[in-house]
Amino acid sequence: MKNSLLLLISFLLLASFKPQDKGSMGAKINSLLTKMTLQEKIGQMNQLNEWNNSAEMEQTIRSGSVGSFLNIVDAKKSNELQRIAVEETRLGIPLIFARDVIHGFKTIFPIPLGQAATWNPQLAENGARVAAMEASAAGIKWTFAPMIDITRDPRWGRIAESCGEDTYLTSVFGAAMVKGFQGDNLSAPTSIAACAKHFAGYGATESGKDYNTTWIPEVQLRDVYLPSFKAASEAGVASFMCSFNDINGIPSSANVHLNKDILRKEWGYNGVLVSDWGSIQQMISHGVCTDLKNAAKMGVEAGVDVDMMSFAYTNHLESLVKSGEVSIKTVNAIVRNILRLKMRLGLFENPYVKEQNPMPYYTQESLQKAKQAAIEGAILLKNDNNLLPLTTATKKLAIIGPLSDSQADQLGTWCFDAEPEHSVTPLKAIQQLVGNEVSIIAEKGLTYSRDKNQQGIEKAVDAAKSADVVLVFVGEEAIISGEARCRADINLPGAQSELIAALKATGKPLVMVVMAGRPLTIGTELNNADAVLYAFHGGTMAGPALADLIFGKAVPSGKLPVTIPRMVGQIPIYYAHKMTGRPAQNIDLIDSIPVGATQTSIGFTSYYLDAGDSPLFHFGYGLSYSSFSYSDVSLSSNKLQDGKTITVSCNITNTGKYDAEEVAQLYIRDLVASLARPVRELKDFRKIHLKAGETKTVSFMLNNEQLAFYNANLVKRTEPGDFQVWISTDSQSGKPATFRKI
Ligand code: NOJ
């Protein structure tokens, strides 16, 4: 009797599980689920940060009250804790150790925005692979990256962690990073689970202030903010993370539409959805629930599998299930996702990490890959009179600026595990590159980027006067970009502008290198410099990369992944904007308007009186030491039928003196549609190598799907009609061809 009752209970429990896990993994999950108590299930849903009471931590593990940890980064320690989970808990379910490994663990690659500036996804994949190899050696099996939020607001500090403003570019880079982190097989010792974050709309944060509200119409959500996440899901990303923000009033940790309707049902995603740190509890502060119990219920019902540091599930889920407010079926579906991830990671078979000595950090190969990413991620914005590259004919060089020799700052944000002493700065790298051939006089001028004390500028000016060429390294310290590091003024901070003006006054050729976490409004300084390289925060090898670029051992090939505004008031400013009914024309700037002008004496079009209509630099822009010419675009057909493709081609010639790389960019415009469409949309790109004088034909295939958008009924469609298509060197130039979708 007792046995048949147990059998009946097991049957009823199993019947409540979705039969989605087939084969031996499915059997193992089912078997575990039937054995797990409710408390053990809730324990799996609980993610904790390390705290400084080892005995208490060990007891928490022993009691099955935690499923994963974040921020434990020591192989020995994680093995000890894992041993308790595996050997001393009732069911021996292993833990996962997670960490924010964003653009490197020890060997730091450029910030993600700098990686996107390479337009070479292989380099981002390399970066994630190196990060995974290094982090996994310390016991990490789960990173909270890639961050694939689309953002068009450089005030937002987290733009540093993003791949910039474009949906397609971000989709490609996000997928490449997933591949790099996870490798071919998630259970390999050097693979770590990736996490597509922050789901969703976080980058649309109102006024560029972190954690702020967003208001995103569904068509824009689907056209702009979600495709990078869908691409990550298709690339097999092991987890997603909820964003902190609310969209249209609903915080992501309570967003059933996003997390269930779209992620699970539409996309069929079966990985883990983790909350952001405390984001379940923060729903109280958002004002959408009364207390933590209410928040726990909303989180579970919105399909948030893992509670990172809200303690909502551990404190309240048991009573919610017992009272029938949350069904056990909901809990089982969640635990199934978590167990599946642990199995995919191979943790049941290989729970421990091999304790290595020495650790595989900073290998020559990893450093070389980091350097290549920093080379290709630097964008040449200006090069008057071909000042760059310098040669050793420059006999005396002044190296100035607060970022010229700052090992920590060049690493950028999110480098918890980096050791700045491994960073090679521009000053050190240039000294090493030129040896005795060029004499260097170094004078920082300002001690750090926010420094307002101008006393050091005089010495910097003296150094500049004595030199043939002046290199000034300016930008932002690492601490003023990243999470919660938003700026309402995105000029160069401190007295850097004054420093540059003083250097300009010496009349010496001036090269400005910007090392920053965001696009900065550098219009004034741009005018004062003869050449400008925008390098973002380039990581461990930023110095050697910049030295090679400055001295012509490498040729710049970076392109902007984000628009640089002239003034902060232009934000949001991005290339894929709508035309409006009154596009800018006959721009009269404020100082050109006669005193007493009548209201109708100047035009009525869409621009700013003080900033005009253009950014300082547009998306996709970037110069080379060489030059390229593009022939007119040709099409395999001027009609695109359903289910068919057309080939778009053009010839690109390297018309300059250097062998170099160029990024050919494919843009389209849907000329007439049921909803107004962007003036240009990036659909593909290719980085090609061209020897001096060489011509190559570049061809892209274009199909229906690439032309589709969500219409007012939220149906994704390609509408018949005329399209323009460009293959161009950036988002503004080139002559379009036209075809008709029939
Ligand atoms: C908060 C951040 O928003 C998220 O990106 C990060 O992964 C978590 N904290 C964990 O550190």
Beta bridge partners of 143: 99
Structure tokens given for 723: 């399209």
Distance CA 283, CA 245 (A): 10
Q: What is the mean pLDDT of residues 692-698?
A: 98
Q: How many angstroms does the Cα of residue 541 sit away from the middle of ligand 1?
A: 25
Cβ atoms 162, 214 nearer than 8 A: no
Distance CA 48, CA 355 (A): 23
Which atom of ligand 1 is nearest the CA belonging to 243? Answer: 3
Q: How many angstroms does the Cα of residue 348 sit away from the middle of ligand 1?
A: 27
Distance CA 149, CA 161 (A): 9
The fourth-level CATH superfamily of domain 367-550 is Glycoside hydrolase family 3 C-terminal domain (3.40.50.1700)
pLDDT tier at 297 (50, 70, 90 boundaries)?
Answer: very high
Helix (H) or strand (E) holding 665: strand 660-670
**Confidence (pLDDT) at 3:** 46
Q: How many angstroms does the Cα of residue 243 sit away from the middle of ligand 1?
A: 9
**Residue 276 appears among annotated catalytic residues:** yes
Q: Which of 284, 211, 221 is nearest to 258 (CA)?
A: 221
CATH class of 16-344: alpha beta
Distance CA 114, CA 558 (A): 9
Residue 15 pLDDT more than 50?
Answer: no
**Share of residues in the chain with pLDDT > 90 (%):** 97
pLDDT tier at 196 (50, 70, 90 boundaries)?
Answer: very high
Which atom of ligand 1 is nearest the CA belonging to 71? Answer: 11
Q: What is the mean pLDDT of residues 638-661?
A: 97
Across the beta sheet with 737-741, what order do the strands follow? 639-640, 737-741, 721-728, 660-670, 681-690
**Confidence (pLDDT) at 392:** 82
Query: What amino acid is encoded at 522 in this protein?
Result: I
Residue 386 pLDDT more than 80?
Answer: yes
Q: How many angstroms does the Cα of residue 437 sit away from the middle of ligand 1?
A: 47
Specify the residue with its C-alpha closest to ligand 1, atom 4.
276
Which atom of ligand 1 is nearest the CA belonging to 244? Answer: 3
Q: How many angstroms does the Cα of residue 147 sit away from the middle of ligand 1?
A: 10
We find that the CATH architecture of domain 628-741 is Sandwich (2.60)
* pLDDT tens profile 151-179: 999 999 999 999 999 999 999 999 999 99
Q: Which of 555, 497, 660 is nearest to 514 (CA)?
A: 497
Which atom of ligand 1 is nearest the CA belonging to 147? Answer: 5
**Confidence (pLDDT) at 20:** 59
Active-site residue identified among 149, 153, 246, 276: 276
* pLDDT tens profile 528-550: 999 999 999 999 999 999 999 99
Q: What is the 3-state secondary structure (H, E, C) of 520-545?
A: CCCHHHHHHCCEEEECCCCCCCHHHH
DSSP annotation string for 13-43: HHHTS-TT--HHHHHHHHHHHHH--HHHHHH
pLDDT tier at 188 (50, 70, 90 boundaries)?
Answer: very high
**Confidence (pLDDT) at 22:** 76
Specify the residue with its C-alpha closest to ligand 1, atom 9.
277
Beta bridge partners of 676: none
pLDDT tier at 18 (50, 70, 90 boundaries)?
Answer: very low
Q: Which of 287, 325, 301, 333 is nearest to 13 (CA)?
A: 333
Which atom of ligand 1 is nearest the CA belonging to 308? Answer: 10
Q: Which of 741, 100, 740 is nearest to 483 (CA)?
A: 100
Structure tokens given for 615: 């950014």
- Which of 70, 111, 144, 161 for mutating ligand 1's site (highest number of atoms within 8 Å of CB)? 144
Q: How many angstroms does the Cα of residue 242 sit away from the middle of ligand 1?
A: 10
- Which of 140, 253, 277 for mutating ligand 1's site (highest number of atoms within 8 Å of CB)? 277
CA-based torsion, 108, 112, 118, 119: positive or negative: positive
Around ligand 1, the residues with Cβ closer than 6 Å are 100, 144, 197, 276-277, 483
Q: What is the dihedral of CA 356, 359, 363, 366, to 10 degrees?
A: 100
Q: How many angstroms does the Cα of residue 514 sit away from the middle of ligand 1?
A: 27
pLDDT tier at 21 (50, 70, 90 boundaries)?
Answer: confident
* pLDDT tens profile 105-151: 999 999 999 999 999 999 999 999 999 999 999 999 999 999 999 99
Domain boundaries, the chain: 16-344, 367-550, 628-741
Specify the residue with its C-alpha closest to ligand 1, atom 7.
144
Matching CATH topology for 16-344 and 367-550? Answer: no
pLDDT tier at 11 (50, 70, 90 boundaries)?
Answer: very low
Specify the residue with its C-alpha closest to ligand 1, atom 1.
277
Radius of gyration, alpha carbons of the chain: 27
Residue 8 pLDDT more than 60?
Answer: no
